[in-house]
Structure formats: structure tokens, C-alpha cells
Structure 1
Amino acid sequence: MSKPFDMELFLAGVLTGSHATQKRHVRQAQIIQTEIADRWALKTPWAWQKKHMVWFLEHRLIGHRDATRYYYLLTVRLLARRLEKPWTFILKAKF
């Protein structure tokens, strides 16, 4: 039996800011992980590609407020930094 992936440990090296901010990033990263695992059966961030995170930002956050979408964008950028990927992400404007 394998242990569940520890997102807090995974992000520990790149988390900065207040305790509340760090907890928010961990919580949001766990939500992103769950959504990607449900859609593509990729359990850990090491298997993710940029398209998976773009899918989350563009399709799973539909109907959320701009502030919520922005905070998830910050978490996605943090995940990309931890994965040492040169990915850039931008939120498309809602009309």
C-alpha cells in the first residue's frame, strides 16, 4: 500500500509568506491535484504537463470570482516553480 502524496512537503521548499498564505497554497494545490487526478489519473505533480494546469485554470474555475481565479493562478505558478518548469500562465479576461 502506497502513502498518499504529501503536497505540503512537496511545496515546502518554495512556500513563502505568512502562515495563512502558505496554508492557502497547500489547500489549493491539493484541490488542483485532486481535479487533475480525477480527469487524467495523474496522482503526482511530477507527471503533470502544462496543459493539465491550463485545463484547470480555464475549465475548472469557470464561474469563480476574479480574485479566486487569481489566487489559483499564484498557486499554479508556485507549482511550476517547484517543478522547475519555465511555464508561464495568464488568466484570460472574462467578458
Structure 2
Amino acid sequence: MIMSFDMEVFMTGVLTGSHATRQRHVRQAKIIQAEIAARWQRETPWVWQRKHVAWFLDHRMSQRSEATRYYYVLTVRLLARRLEKSWVFML
């Protein structure tokens, strides 16, 4: 039996703030995970490279509002912190 990856458990160590903020980050991380898995067949953040996340921000978020992109960049920064990567993403 294959266990699905639990993004909420993965992000628990880096999530702070209100319940709504934590839930938003988890929801956005799940969306990022699904998009990268569909495009690159990389199921878990442990196997992601910077190019995968950059692709998501550049191509999947290009038609979104500035505010939406900002919140996704915040989520990506949390993912990078959890992965202990030195990825830098700007708007």
C-alpha cells in the first residue's frame, strides 16, 4: 500500500501564526505539490529542485493577482525553510 504524502505534517515545524494563516499555507503547499507532481512527477518536496518551484511561480501563477503571487511566495519560502534550502524567490 502506498501512503500519500501529508503536506500538513511536513510543514508543521515551520508554520506559525493564526489558524487561518497556517491553513492557507498548507492549502497552497498542497496546490504547489499537485502541480509539480502533475508536470514533473515529483511527488514529495524532498525531491524538488529549485527549477520545479520556479516553474510553478513563473507559469502557474503568471495570470494571478499580485497579492495571490505574494502569498504563494511566502508559502514557498516556508517550504524552502523546511527543506533547509537557500532558495530565494522574489516577486
TM-score bracket, shorter-length normalisation: over 0.9
2:61 alignment partner in structure 1: 61
Paired with 2:21 and 2:53, the residues of 1 have a C-alpha distance of: 20
Paired with 1:62 and 1:14, the residues of 2 have a C-alpha distance of: 26
Q: Does 1:8 align with 2:14?
A: no
Paired with 1:87 and 1:62, the residues of 2 have a C-alpha distance of: 19
1:77-92 paired onto structure 2 within 5 Å: 77-91=77-91
TM-aligned CA deviation for residue 3 of structure 1: 1.0
Paired with 1:66 and 1:39, the residues of 2 have a C-alpha distance of: 24
Q: Does 1:36 align with 2:36?
A: yes
CA RMSD of aligned residues (A): 0.5
2:5 alignment partner AA: F
2:49 alignment partner in structure 1: 49
Paired with 2:15 and 2:62, the residues of 1 have a C-alpha distance of: 26
Structure 1 runs, 4 residues or longer, greater than 6 Å off:
none
2:83 alignment partner AA: L
Q: What count of residue pairs does the alignment treat as equivalent?
A: 91
Q: Normalised by the size of structure 2, how large is the TM-score?
A: 0.98
Q: Normalised by the size of structure 1, how large is the TM-score?
A: 0.94
TM-aligned CA deviation for residue 12 of structure 1: 0.2
2:75 alignment partner in structure 1: 75
User: Percent identity, aligned pairs only?
Assistant: 68
Q: Which runs of 5+ in 1 are unaligned?
A: none
Q: Which runs of 5+ in 2 are unaligned?
A: none
Paired with 2:53 and 2:63, the residues of 1 have a C-alpha distance of: 17
